[in-house]
Chain A
Amino acid sequence: RKEVEQDPGPFNVPEGATVAFNCTYSNSASQSFFWYRQDCRKEPKLLMSVYSSGNEDGRFTAQLNRASQYISLLIRDSKLSDSATYLCVVNKGIQFYFGTGTSLTVIP
């Protein structure tokens, strides 16, 4: 079983839509959780950390459910510039495990 599993999409949504990405992880001892964004032909960049209490950064809300080993990312009022691949990342000790990424295209 993979350490991190994501729906690869693609998600094609109109501007202004709300879109949610989900991710599950297999190791209950995982310690830290993140969402990274990767634009085409660019390196991954940290979007936000994910906490059990949930955290919000502008239009982006991330949530962690440790009991279900589930992480989510919600994007409200989608912009064209949100088009990218979103990677779910789980940390345990010194290891970082990457999901395969979910592709988002926001359509005018």
Chain B
Amino acid sequence: SAVISQKPSRDICQRGTSLTIQCQVDSQVTMMFWYRQQPGQSLTLIATANQGSEATYESGFVIDKFPISRPNLTFSTLTVSNMSPEDSSIYLCSADRLSGNTIYFGEGSWLTVV
């Protein structure tokens, strides 16, 4: 399985500010995804991070609020912009392997907005 590192692992942020989460994979992967998991809920896909092009966002998520970058096959960032308490959540980076169809997750970034 791929090793996926995320940082920060947790943060407490003031409302109205923005936070960028970084995701680094230890090997080249085809797909990288960003998920959100709110307390007591399952995972919700925010977007698919496309290498060298704009991310593909799911319904309910927009680029202005969640800009995503993926400059190469092993790295991606997710920014949570103009945060409000409703953005308090775990944000999870995931990736698949070049040769497989299973996805693996980073340890998550626990975000609390106050």
The interface of chain A, by Cβ under 8 A from chain B, is 31-32, 34, 41-46, 49, 87, 91, 94-96, 98-101
Contact = CB atoms under 8 A, between A and B. Distances in A.
Contacts, number: 36
Contacts of A46: 1, 102, 104
Given A43-B92, A46-B1, A98 B104 contact: no
Interface residues of B, number: 19
A42 B104 contact: no
A42 B65 CA distance: 25
A87 B102 CA distance: 14
A42 B27 CA distance: 22
A42 B10 CA distance: 12
A15 to B, nearest CB: 26
6 contacts: A31-B101, A32-B102, A43-B105, A43-B107, A98-B43, A100-B42
A45 B48 contact: no
A101 B102 CA distance: 18
